[in-house]
Amino acid sequence: NAGVTQTPKFQVLKTGQSMTLQCAQDMNHNSMYWYRQDPGMGLRLIYYSASEGTTDKGEVPNGYNVSRLNKREFSLRLESAAPSQTSVYFCASSERPSGGLNEQFFGPGTRLTVL
Amino acid sequence: AQSVTQLGSHVSVSEGALVLLRCNYSSSVPPYLFWYVQYPNQGLQLLLKYTSAATLVKGINGFEAEFKKSETSFHLTKPSAHMSDAAEYFCAVSEPGAAGNKLTFGGGTRVLVKP
């Protein structure tokens, strides 16, 4: 099993450009998440999908959109990139939510720079 | 709202010495608590989790953590540091019963191990 995979690994954008970060998991998990990691701030939740067909905002959703394409795939879109979105983005997945018991499994991350 | 505070963004220890990483949380209900480790240029992986069973939790690679409700703490320890422990460590909480199995992370503590 590959676990959680993310593409691309690195990306450089100019301000105003758009892009989609792709995430896929092969563990048959129901829930998927997008986080951003910034120095000293830990990981902050951008959006999550508790189950196929549902998406909800996290702590820092502004400037982002998501699509839960199917059970395996959860994409994150930046419509008009800004320098403040320079960060490392992580996708994660977990089994059916059961009151917070289940651990999340993380992908290797996408390092995004917006000039 | 939940919050997590990790005291010390950087910790330096000698090989063979005790590793102690501090985590305090704020939550209206007893939470589930997690420690994750991130090695350079990788995603996060679970070290251990507390889910209201035993207050002393043992994890992988010789790490353990103790839940102390009276101190709202979940400090991580390892008796003897190894060079391979050099990484960044994150404490995280989730609220039992909350939708989506969401995690709230602390800011992280980077561990340097000196030979």
CB contact under 8 A, B107 and A41: yes
Name B91's Cβ contacts closer than 8 Å, sequence gap at least 6: B4, B6, B21, B23, B25, B33, B34, B35, B74, B76, B105, B106
Q: What is the pLDDT of residues A101-111, one digit of tens each?
A: 778 999 999 99
**Secondary structure class of B31 (helix, strand, coil):** coil
Closest in A43, A44, A100 to B96, CB measured: A100
CA-angle at A73, arms to B3 and A6, nearest 5°: 70
Q: Confirm or reject contact between A108 and chain B (CB < 8 A).
A: yes
Judged against a pLDDT cut of 70, whether residue A99 lies above it is answered with no
Of A57-61, A83-87, B28-32, minimum mean pLDDT range: B28-32
Q: Confirm or reject contact between A68 and chain B (CB < 8 A).
A: no
**pLDDT for res B24:** 96
**pLDDT for res B33:** 92
Q: Confirm or reject contact between A8 and chain B (CB < 8 A).
A: no
Instruction: Please give the average per-residue pLDDT across A65-92, as a whole number.
Output: 96
Question: What confidence category does residue A100 fall into, taking pLDDT thresholds of 50, 70 and 90?
Answer: low
Run means of pLDDT, 10 residues per run, chain B, 115 residues = 90 97 89 93 92 87 94 96 96 82 91 96
CB contact under 8 A, B98 and A99: yes
Please give, one letter per residue, the 3-state secondary structure of B63-93: CEEEEECCCCEEEEEECCCCHHHCEEEEEEE
